[in-house]
């Protein structure tokens, strides 16, 4: 790719041509030098017969005229090109200023910078214009005018260029003065609490960074402090009257250190009520917990009682007991003394025979076990005639 000559290169060519013309003119005026050169050349090189002195001067003159014309043309081209470049440079800088000042169009601003990547100084000059436009709009905000577009634009720039401390500081200023204007409107609407809090936000954000804004916000806070405190008292009292003690405590806690004893007393009152209610709530919860524990204990005891061995039939030598198995093994042991019949049957939950454990006549010693289903209900049927029995068993929930 052929590169166009820049201004410096074109200037060097023009100066070389001018120097060449100067040498030619000097030689023409000093004929003796020219004659010596001609004699030396003639001694070594034989010139054609047609090339006389007159023709030499014509050729040299033509060359000089051509060189002059070329030099003039190059000079005009270079001048025109450089003039257009400077005009575009300055015009684009002006556009950079205008798109920020009037349109809040940072994307257009960056696109203009992208057109001047070969001019390294353009970006820094453009950002100077950006800062200038922002400063002028800040002055407009300081006069009490809203400019949400500027706030939004600078926040967007700050988020995309977190390392740019200048933009970060200007955002604090813009946002600070904008919030002061909003707080002033709250004052006009007699919303002194909202205004006071917003001034507080401005002070926190700009502390040790923008003294002018901080001082202004502090002065504004002091101007409305008494009205704000009266509104705090009124709103706090309303919450207390509505027995919304927790909300009152939180609300009054924000202002209890501002030197107003009424607010301090109200805060303490709300805190005491919150503590009392919390204590009552905990006591109630504890009582409820204990009640549930007692109910659970009774339920479990009722379940356990329901599983204990119960006599359901006891007549004429026949005893039937309902039992619930606490194990997978039922063990029966004991004795029968007498001359009569003695039997022990284990029945299932339908009172059908599950296992005949004893069926004897006369004295007998029992020691038997049987596999059962844990948790299931069975019936133990004991029958005897002309005798007495003494039995023990395990594997049930007992009596």
In order along its 399 residues, the chain shows pLDDT tens digits of: 223 445 565 566 666 666 666 666 665 555 555 565 555 555 555 556 565 666 666 777 777 788 778 777 777 777 788 888 888 889 999 999 999 999 999 999 999 999 998 888 999 999 999 999 999 999 999 999 999 999 999 999 999 888 899 999 999 999 999 999 999 999 999 999 999 999 999 999 999 999 999 999 999 999 999 999 999 999 999 999 999 999 999 999 999 999 999 999 999 999 999 999 999 999 999 999 999 999 999 999 898 888 999 999 999 889 999 999 999 999 999 999 999 999 999 999 999 999 999 999 999 999 999 999 999 999 999 999 989 999 999 999 986
Number of compact structural domains in the chain: 2
Is the residue at 112 inside a domain?
yes
Name the domain boundary from 108, 143, 178.
143
What b-and-e string marks burial along 373-386, b requiring 16 or more CB atoms within 10 Å of the CB?
eeeeebbbbbbbee
Which residue segment(s) compose the domain that 120 sits in? 1-143
Torsion of CA 12, 15, 19, 20, to 10 degrees: 70
Helix (H) or strand (E) holding 312: strand 310-315
- pLDDT computed for residue 30 by the predictor: 59
Is the residue at 91 inside a domain?
yes
Measured CA to CA, the distance from residue 43 to residue 280 in angstroms comes to 131
Is the residue at 369 inside a domain?
yes
Name the domain boundary from 143, 174, 204.
143
- pLDDT computed for residue 305 by the predictor: 87
Measured CA to CA, the distance from residue 45 to residue 38 in angstroms comes to 10
- pLDDT computed for residue 22 by the predictor: 67
Strand blocks (E) in 325-385: 329-338, 341-347, 353-361, 364-371, 377-384
What pTM was estimated for this model as a whole?
0.61
Do the strands 310-315 and 341-347 form a parallel or antiparallel pair, or are they unpaired? unpaired
**Burial zone of 58 (CB within 10 Å; 0-12 exposed, 13-18 middle, 19+ buried):** exposed
- pLDDT computed for residue 20 by the predictor: 64
Show the tokens assigned to 212: 């002018």
**How many other CB atoms are found less than 10 A from the CB of residue 158?**
19
Label residue 106 left, alpha or beta by phi (over 0 means left) and psi (-120 to 50 means alpha). Answer: alpha
Measured CA to CA, the distance from residue 266 to residue 234 in angstroms comes to 11
Give the tens place of pLDDT for each residue, 5-51. 455 655 666 666 666 666 666 655 555 555 655 555 555 555 565 65
Distance of CA 178 to the CA centre of its chain: 24
Instruction: Give, as one character, the DSSP assignment of residue 209.
Output: T
Is the residue at 271 inside a domain?
no
Is the residue at 36 inside a domain?
yes
CATH at 355: 2.60.120.380
Is the residue at 70 inside a domain?
yes
Is the residue at 4 inside a domain?
yes
Name the domain boundary from 92, 113, 143.
143
Q: What is residue 144's three-state secondary structure?
A: coil
User: Which of 80, 65, 75 has the alpha carbon at shortest distance from 20?
Assistant: 65
Is the residue at 211 inside a domain?
no
Measured CA to CA, the distance from residue 108 to residue 114 in angstroms comes to 10
- pLDDT computed for residue 130 by the predictor: 93
**Burial zone of 127 (CB within 10 Å; 0-12 exposed, 13-18 middle, 19+ buried):** middle
């Amino acid at each position: 790719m052929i590169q166009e000559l820049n201004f410096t290169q074109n200037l060097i060519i023009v100066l070389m041509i001018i120097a060449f013309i100067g040498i030619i003119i000097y030689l023409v005026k000093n004929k003796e030098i020219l004659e010596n050169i001609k004699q030396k050349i003639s001694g070594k090189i034989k010139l054609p017969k047609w090339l006389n002195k007159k023709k030499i001067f014509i050729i040299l003159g033509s060359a000089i005229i051509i060189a002059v014309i070329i030099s003039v043309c190059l000079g005009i081209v270079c001048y025109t090109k450089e003039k257009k470049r400077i005009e575009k440079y300055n015009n684009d800088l002006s556009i950079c200023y205008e798109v920020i000042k009037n349109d809040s169009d940072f994307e257009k601003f960056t696109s203009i910078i992208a057109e001047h990547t070969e001019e390294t100084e353009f970006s820094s000059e453009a950002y100077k214009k950006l800062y200038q436009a922002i400063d002028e709009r800040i002055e407009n905000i300081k006069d009490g005018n809203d400019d949400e577009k500027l706030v939004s634009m600078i926040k967007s720039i700050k988020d995309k260029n977190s390392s740019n401390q200048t933009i970060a500081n200007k955002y604090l200023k813009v946002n600070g003065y904008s919030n002061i204007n909003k707080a002033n409107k709250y004052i006009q609407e007699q919303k002194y609490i909202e205004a006071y809090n917003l001034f507080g936000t401005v002070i926190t954000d700009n502390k040790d960074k923008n003294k002018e804004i901080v001082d202004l916000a502090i002065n504004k806070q002091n101007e409305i402090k008494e009205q704000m405190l009266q509104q705090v008292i009124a709103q706090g009292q309303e919450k207390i009257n509505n027995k919304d003690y927790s909300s009152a405590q939180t609300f009054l806690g924000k202002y209890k250190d501002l030197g107003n004893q009424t607010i301090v007393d109200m805060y303490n009152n709300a805190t005491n009520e919150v503590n009392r209610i919390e204590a009552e709530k905990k006591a109630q919860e504890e009582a409820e917990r204990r009640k549930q524990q007692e109910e659970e204990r009774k339920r479990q005891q009722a379940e356990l009682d329901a599983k204990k061995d119960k006599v359901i039939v006891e007549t004429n030598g026949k005893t039937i007991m309902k039992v619930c198995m606490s194990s997978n093994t039922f063990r029966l042991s004991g004795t029968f003394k007498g001359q009569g019949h003695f039997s022990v049957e284990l029945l299932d939950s339908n009172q059908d025979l599950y296992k005949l454990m004893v069926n004897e006549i006369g004295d007998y010693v029992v020691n038997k076990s049987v596999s059962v289903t844990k948790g299931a209900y069975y019936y133990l049927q004991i029958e005897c005639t002309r005798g007495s029995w003494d039995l023990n068993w395990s594997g049930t929930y007992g009596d």
